[in-house]
C-alpha cells in the first residue's frame, strides 16, 4: 500500500502581493518533514529535497513542487505559492508545461516503431521524409533516425530563427505546423556534418514528429495518446493544441518583466504550437513519475531498445557546464556524486523549469517543477538529483555553485536543455 504525505512551505497572500510589486524574497516559514525510514540514498524523509525547493524559492521562484516515489511511499513536497495573486500553495495534482520532457514521449514512440519493424535507427530522413531536409549544405541521405534522437544530426535549431518569434508576436493564435518549424531551422546551414559532433537542436524532434506521421499515417499527438497516455491512464497529461490555457488545477508560470527584471509577469497562458513535438505537453509530477517508471520497467520498449535509449551519447552536454548529465535517445542520464544513475529528462520553457528521473529499475522516481526560469536551473537540478538519490547534499561553494557543478557561472540563471524563443512582449508565446 502506498502512503502519500504532503509537506508544504507557503507564504501568505500579503507576501505574495508584495512580491508582485517589489520583486521576490520569499523564504517564509516551514513545516518540518516527518522522518521516515531511510530509502535509497537521500530520498527517505524528503528533507534534503525540500531544502532544494526552498532554495529555488529563495532564488526567485514563486513556487516549487516535487514528488518522490518508491514502492513504499509517495512524498509530495512544495515551497512558495502556486499563484502569486491568490497565495494558494502548490499541490501535487496541479498541472504545468513540461517543455522538453515531451521529447521522451516522442522518442518512445519512435523506438516502438523500430521495435515493430516499421522503422530502423539507421534509416535516413531522405528515405522516411523525403524532400523535407534538402539544400543549404544538408546531406539528407546521411542523417539517420538515431542522429535525430541523440542530437548528433547537425541540423540547426529552429528556435534561433527570429522569424518564428515575429510570427508569434504578430498572431498569438497562429497554429504552427511541423513543416513550418522544420523549415525555420533548415533555413540555416548545418552546425556540423552528420554524426561528427553533438549539439542540442529542437528541430531534430520536429522532424521526428514528421517521421511518426509519415510511418503511421497519424500525428505524433494521436500516437502518444494511443500508445502512452491512455494505456497508463495519465489523466492529467495532454496536448493543449492552440489553447493557451491550462486545465485546472494548475500552477502559474512567471518571467522577469522586460522593463524591470525584479518584477515578475504571469506567463501561464501561452499558445505552445511553436513547440510542437519538442515541448508542448502538459502534465503533473505524479503523471511524470508514473510514465518514467513504466518506461524504465520495460512496459513500452524491448530491453535492447531501452538500453539504446539510456546509453549516454559521447560528447553530449544537455546541461552546459555540468559533468553530471549526458544525453541518450530522447533521455537524459544523470550521475550524481554517489554514483547512482538516474534516467529521465529536463525541460525549459519561459516560466517553467522541470525534471523527471528515476533509477534503472523504475522503483525510485522523482519529478519537480520550478515556476520561473529566473533561477539557476543547472545548479538546482544537480542539487535536487543529489539530494534525492545520495546520502548527503552537495557542498555549496562561496559563489553558490554545487560541488558537482564547477564549470558554470552559478550567479546567472542557467536554462537547459535547449535555447528558448523569447517574444517577451507577447503573453501568448515562449519556447522550449
Reading the chain (432 residues) residue by residue, the pLDDT tens digits are: 333 344 445 433 222 223 222 233 333 333 333 333 333 444 567 999 999 999 999 999 999 999 999 999 999 999 999 999 999 999 999 999 999 999 999 999 999 999 999 999 999 999 999 999 999 999 999 999 999 999 999 999 999 999 999 999 899 999 999 999 999 999 999 999 999 999 999 999 999 999 999 999 999 999 999 999 999 999 999 999 999 999 999 999 999 998 998 899 999 999 999 999 999 999 999 999 999 999 999 999 999 999 999 999 999 999 999 999 999 999 999 999 999 999 999 999 989 999 999 999 999 999 999 999 999 999 999 999 999 999 644 444 333 333 333 333 333 333 344 434 434 433 333 333
Q: What is the CA radius of gyration of the chain?
A: 20
3-state secondary structure at position 342: strand
Phi (first) and psi of residue 402, to 5 degrees = -90, 160
- Residue 220, CA distances (Å) to 81, 103, 277, 397 in order: 34, 11, 7, 44
Asked if 430 and 391 count as a contact pair (C-beta separation under 8 A), the reply is no
Task: Say if strands 73-80 and 4-9 run parallel, antiparallel, or are unpaired.
Answer: parallel
Phi (first) and psi of residue 228, to 5 degrees = -125, -55
Q: What is the pLDDT of residue 56?
A: 98
CA distance 294 to 272: 27
Q: What is the pLDDT of residue 293?
A: 98
Q: What is the pLDDT of residue 391?
A: 61
Q: What is the DSSP letter of 347?
A: E
Q: Domains in the chain, ordered, with CATH?
A: 1-58+71-92 (no CATH), 93-343+391-397+414-432 (3.40.710.10)
User: 3-state SS of the chain: helix, strand, coil percent to 5?
Assistant: 30, 15, 55
pTM above 0.75, yes or no: yes
- Residue 26, CA distances (Å) to 21, 66, 159 in order: 13, 18, 32
Amino acid at each position: 500500500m502506498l502512503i502519500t504525505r504532503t509537506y508544504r512551505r507557503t507564504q501568505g497572500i500579503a507576501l505574495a502581493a508584495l512580491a508582485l510589486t517589489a520583486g521576490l524574497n520569499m523564504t517564509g516559514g516551514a513545516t518540518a518533514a516527518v522522518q521516515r525510514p531511510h530509502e535509497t540514498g537521500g530520498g527517505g524523509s524528503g528533507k534534503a529535497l525540500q531544502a532544494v525547493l526552498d532554495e529555488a524559492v529563495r532564488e526567485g521562484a514563486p513556487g516549487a513542487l516535487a514528488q518522490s516515489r518508491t514502492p513504499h511511499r509517495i512524498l509530495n513536497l512544495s515551497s512558495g505559492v502556486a499563484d502569486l495573486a491568490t497565495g494558494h500553495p502548490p499541490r501535487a495534482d496541479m498541472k504545468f508545461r513540461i517543455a522538453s520532457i515531451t521529447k521522451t514521449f516522442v522518442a518512445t514512440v519512435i523506438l516502438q516503431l523500430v521495435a515493430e519493424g516499421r522503422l530502423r535507427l539507421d534509416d535516413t530522413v531522405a528515405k522516411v521524409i523525403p524532400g523535407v531536409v534538402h539544400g543549404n549544405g544538408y546531406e539528407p541521405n546521411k542523417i539517420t533516425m538515431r542522429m535525430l534522437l541523440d542530437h548528433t544530426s547537425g541540423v540547426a535549431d529552429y528556435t534561433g530563427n527570429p522569424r518564428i518569434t515575429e510570427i508569434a508576436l504578430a498572431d498569438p493564435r497562429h497554429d504552427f505546423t511541423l513543416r513550418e518549424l522544420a523549415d525555420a531551422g533548415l533555413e540555416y546551414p548545418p552546425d556540423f556534418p552528420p554524426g561528427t559532433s553533438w549539439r542540442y537542436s529542437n528541430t531534430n524532434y520536429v522532424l521526428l514528429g514528421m517521421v511518426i506521421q509519415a510511418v503511421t499515417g497519424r500525428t505524433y499527438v494521436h500516437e502518444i495518446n494511443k500508445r502512452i497516455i491512455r494505456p497508463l491512464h495519465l489523466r492529467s497529461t495532454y496536448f493543449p493544441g492552440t489553447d493557451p490555457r491550462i486545465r485546472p488545477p494548475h500552477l502559474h508560470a512567471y518571467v522577469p518583466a522586460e522593463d524591470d527584471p525584479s518584477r515578475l509577469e504571469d506567463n501561464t497562458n501561452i499558445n505552445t504550437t511553436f513547440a510542437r513535438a519538442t515541448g508542448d505537453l502538459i502534465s503533473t509530477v505524479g503523471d511524470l513519475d508514473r510514465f518514467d517508471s513504466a518506461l524504465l520497467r520495460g512496459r513500452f520498449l524491448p530491453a535492447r531498445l531501452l538500453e539504446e535509449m539510456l546509453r549516454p551519447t559521447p560528447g553530449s552536454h544537455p546541461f552546459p557546464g555540468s559533468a553530471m548529465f549526458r544525453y541518450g535517445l530522447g533521455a537524459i542520464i544523470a550521475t550524481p556524486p554517489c554514483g547512482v544513475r538516474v534516467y529521465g529528462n529536463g525541460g525549459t520553457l519561459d516560466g517553467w523549469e522541470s525534471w523527471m528521473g528515476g533509477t534503472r529499475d523504475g522503483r525510485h522516481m522523482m519529478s519537480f517543477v520550478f515556476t520561473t526560469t529566473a533561477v539557476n536551473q543547472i545548479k538546482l537540478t544537480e542539487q535536487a538529483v543529489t539530494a534525492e538519490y545520495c546520502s548527503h547534499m552537495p557542498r555549496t561553494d562561496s559563489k553558490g555553485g554545487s560541488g558537482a557543478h564547477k564549470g558554470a557561472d552559478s550567479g546567472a540563471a542557467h536554462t537547459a536543455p535547449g535555447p528558448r524563443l523569447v517574444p517577451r512582449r507577447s503573453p501568448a508565446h515562449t519556447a522550449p
